[in-house]
């Protein structure tokens, strides 16, 4: 007998005999049904007419269907095993399995079909696993599928300069090790999401974030930012007219100059500064250690710290300043000023700055409640205090209400415990401690020299809260 036929004789006969049971047959049906659906979906997806961005559909197609497929596949041997033990217990296993006639061409082709199907199954499971892993790497999966858990970060990410950078570029990166670590971690988090036990808010800083050198410097070269950056800010007051002022700051961003010297904000911190923080959020810095060019260290110790060397030690990198890269949650004042400078809420509405601040800083249980109360609160205010404005400028009131709701719902997520100020931004020092965690004038070396707080080392203040800075007129900036 030839090899294939021997195989068919010795293996297939018992297999077919035991395989003829309800569980295995259901398994077979499940497997083939999900296989057909999956292949159909992949073909449509490849041709490009899939067209659905629904993250839940993605979840069904990438995880549920393949899972069903595998379950079906597993049911087949389970059924065979059960039937075999059942028959064995009853002593009904035949000594000779029913004859199958290999000379019958229909039957022979049927068996060839089973062999081909098995091969196809391997291909399908392989492709499905690959696609599932690939899907888990997409921003939609990270951000939108875990809708509740990642809501705040996803919302901030979508409006950031990094909205086209996949989450994994910063959170996982390349290499087998980080891949495996991420999948292990990710699976744990998936389970937490499924069981609804994930932390609220999600902890920050991210402990296992890869070094900024690996993630940020793949796209940004700090040494390339040479020179100055002009920042123009508009602020509004709480008076009826919402009077505005301008502040102009020329930041000495620096970088590497033509003689290869590192200068300015970007130039002086990277690679040779370590610090110890006494809190989880790295907001209270008790000691800063700087490696000098001759290899010696200068330690700057905070005069407020009791045990300055106790705590997590960290080499300063991009993320110590840009801790909110891609997920910037604003300060309420800053957010409202920026929105008003862009035209909505319109500064033509009396007291809109004062009233708007009051509404966005209110306490609400959900974003939906906030949207309702902010909208009705603003309408009530104008209806009762400024009826004439309310009737003639109704469109502006509606627009202002929408803008206030947008400010609230991109920054505050009561369901996730993300409130104003939960995630301070370390770039700057006006809305959070930021640079002044070290540059506060009280981090001293042994000789009594402090890390500088001299305003002009970081920037030239070209105008501070000036009603109409002449410089803006000269520069032609409105
Ligand atoms: C350009 C880089 C970058 C990208 C892209 C990015 N993140 Fe982040 N992410 C960060 C940084 C930096 C932090 C803060 C790390 C720290 O302080 O340790 C962070 C923190 C987080 C946190 C912790 C909670 C918090 O708010 O600090 C979550 C959750 C998160 N990111 C989810 C996502 C998701 C989901 C995506 C994709 C939709 C994404 N991130 C894309 C850089 C990025
Ligand atoms: C895959 C490429 C990529 C990676 C990785 C990346 N960025 Fe960016 N980054 C960009 C692009 C593109 C822009 C937008 C540039 C523009 O709008 O001119 C940008 C803009 C920025 C800006 C200026 C705008 C803003 O949001 O303030 C900062 C700061 C920044 N990135 C910091 C970081 C940091 C810190 C990291 C590492 C955590 C990082 N980036 C990782 C591509 C990247
Ligand atoms: C000591 C704090 C600090 C560190 C460390 C730092 N930055 Fe910055 N960075 C700043 C400040 C301040 C600005 C200007 C902020 C603004 O525009 O409001 C800035 C601006 C930027 C910008 C925008 C530049 C532009 O033209 O608008 C990018 C991109 C950027 N940083 C990337 C990085 C990367 C990548 C690293 C790490 C290699 C890094 N930064 C390290 C403080 C820092
Ligand atoms: C973890 C501590 C730490 C933080 C946070 C920090 N710095 Fe520094 N910075 C230092 C140290 C240390 C030096 C070097 C001081 C020295 O050599 O005397 C320095 C030096 C500087 C210098 C050069 C000063 C000079 O005399 O030439 C500038 C400019 C500067 N920092 C800007 C910033 C800005 C802007 C931020 C916030 C975005 C910031 N730093 C955040 C620790 C810090
Ligand atoms: C260690 C560096 C550093 C020092 C020292 C420093 N600043 Fe700043 N300051 C910054 C940075 C960075 C920003 C820009 C923040 C941003 O991009 O929004 C800023 C912004 C400002 C602004 C703009 C206001 C705003 O709404 O953001 C004012 C005003 C200001 N600084 C005042 C001062 C004064 C006054 C001093 C001296 C007592 C001082 N700063 C010292 C780094 C510094």
Chain segment 99-151, per-residue pLDDT in tens: 667 777 777 777 777 778 778 877 887 787 777 767 766 777 766 666 567 78
- 400 Cβ below 6 A of ligand 3: no
pLDDT at res. 134 = 73
C-alpha 250 to ligand 3 mean position (Å): 14
Here the tokens at position 14 are 């018992």
Query: Of 35, 50, 34, whose CA–CA distance to 123 is shortest?
Result: 35
pLDDT at 297 (0 to 100): 93
The reply to whether ligand 1 has any atom less than 6 angstroms from the CB of 165 is yes
Measured in Å, residue 435 CA sits from the centre of ligand 4 at 7
- The verdict on the CB of residue 439 being under 6 Å from ligand 3 is no
Q: Is 329 in the pocket of ligand 1 (CB under 6 A)?
A: no
Ligand 1 contacts CB of residue 111 (under 6 A): no
**What is residue 1's predicted lDDT score, i.e. its pLDDT?**
47
Q: Is the CB of 87 under 6 A from ligand 1?
A: no
What pTM does this model have?
0.84
State the distance from the centre of ligand 3 to the C-alpha of 313, rounded, in angstroms. Answer: 22
Residue 116: predicted pLDDT: 82
Ligand 3 atom 27 nearest Cα: 229
- Rounded CA gap, 447 and 247, in Å? 36
Q: Would you state the pLDDT for residue 195?
A: 75
Please tell me the predicted confidence (pLDDT) of residue 66: 83
Q: Is the CB of 144 under 6 A from ligand 1?
A: no
| Dihedral pair phi/psi, residue 111, rounded to 5° | -70, -40
User: Which ligand minimizes its atom distance to the CA of 228?
Assistant: 3
The alpha carbon of 247 is separated from its chain's Cα centroid by a whole number of angstroms, namely 32
Q: Which residues pair with 236 in a beta bridge?
A: 244
Which residues have a Cβ under 8 Å from the Cβ of 427 and sit 6 or more positions away? 321, 322, 324, 434, 435
Secondary structure of residue 60 in the 3-state scheme: helix
Residues with C-beta less than 6 Å from any ligand 4 atom: 252, 264-265, 268-269, 273, 275, 285, 288, 290, 300, 316, 320-321, 427, 434-435, 437-439, 451-452, 457-458
Distance from CA of residue 394 to its chain's centroid? 38
Cα–Cα distances in angstroms (integers) from residue 447 to residues 130, 219, 290, 300, 439, in the given order = 60, 40, 14, 10, 17
pLDDT under 70: residue ranges of the chain: 1-9, 45, 47-59, 99-100, 133, 136-137, 142-148, 173-180, 182-184, 186-187, 190, 222-226
Residue 374 CB–ligand 1 contact under 6 Å: no
What's the gap between Cα 52 and its chain centre? 22
Ligand lying nearest the CA atom of residue 264 = 4
What is d(CA 339, CA 353) in angstroms, rounded to the nearest whole number? Answer: 11
Contact in structure between 100 and 6 (CB atoms under 8 Å): no
């Amino acid at each position: 007998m030839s090899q294939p036929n021997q195989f068919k004789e010795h293996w297939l006969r018992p297999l077919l005999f035991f395989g003829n049971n309800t569980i295995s047959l259901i398994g077979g049906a499940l497997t083939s049904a999900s296989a057909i659906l999956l292949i159909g979906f992949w073909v449509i997806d490849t041709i490009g007419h899939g067209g659905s961005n629904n993250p839940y559909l993605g979840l069904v197609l990438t995880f549920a269907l393949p899972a069903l497929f595998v379950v079906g596949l597993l049911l087949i041997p389970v059924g065979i095993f059960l039937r075999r033990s059942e028959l064995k217990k009853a002593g009904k296993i035949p000594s000779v399995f029913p004859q199958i006639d290999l000379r019958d061409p229909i039957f022979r082709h049927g068996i060839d079909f089973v062999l081909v199907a098995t091969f196809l199954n391997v291909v399908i499971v392989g492709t499905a696993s690959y696609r599932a892993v690939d899907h888990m790497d997409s921003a939609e999966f990270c951000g939108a599928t875990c809708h509740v858990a990642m809501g705040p970060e996803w919302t901030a990410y979508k409006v950031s300069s990094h909205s086209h950078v996949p989450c994994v570029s910063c959170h996982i990166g390349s290499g087998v090790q980080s891949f495996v670590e991420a999948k292990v971690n990710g699976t744990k988090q998936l389970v937490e999401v499924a069981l609804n036990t994930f932390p609220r808010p999600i902890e920050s800083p991210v402990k296992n974030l890869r070094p900024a050198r690996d993630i940020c410097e793949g796209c940004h070269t700090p040494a390339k930012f040479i020179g100055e950056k002009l920042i123009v800010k508009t602020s509004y007051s709480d008076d009826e007219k919402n009077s505005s002022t301008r502040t102009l700051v020329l930041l000495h961003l620096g970088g590497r100059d033509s003689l290869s010297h590192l200068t300015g904000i970007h130039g002086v911190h990277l690679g040779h500064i370590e610090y110890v923080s006494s809190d989880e959020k790295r907001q209270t810095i008790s000691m800063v250690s700087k490696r000098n060019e001759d290899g010696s260290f200068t330690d700057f110790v905070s005069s407020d710290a009791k045990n300055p060397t106790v705590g997590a030690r960290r080499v300063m990198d991009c993320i110590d300043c840009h801790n909110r890269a891609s997920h910037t949650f604003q300060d309420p004042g800053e957010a409202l000023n920026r929105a008003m400078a862009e035209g909505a809420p319109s500064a033509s509405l009396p007291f809109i700055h004062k009233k708007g601040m009051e509404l966005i800083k209110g306490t609400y249980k959900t974003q939906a409640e906030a949207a309702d109360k902010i909208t009705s609160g603003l309408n009530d205010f104008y209806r009762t205090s400024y009826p004439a404005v309310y009737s003639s400028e109704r469109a502006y009131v509606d627009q202002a209400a929408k803008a206030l709701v947008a400010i609230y719902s991109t920054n505050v997520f009561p369901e996730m415990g993300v409130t104003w100020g939960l995630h301070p931004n370390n770039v700057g020092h006006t809305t959070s401690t930021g640079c002044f965690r070290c540059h506060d004038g009280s981090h001293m070396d042994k000789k009594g020299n402090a890390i500088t707080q001299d305003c002009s080392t970081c920037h030239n203040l070209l105008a501070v809260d000036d009603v109409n800075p002449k410089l803006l007129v000269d520069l032609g900036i409105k």
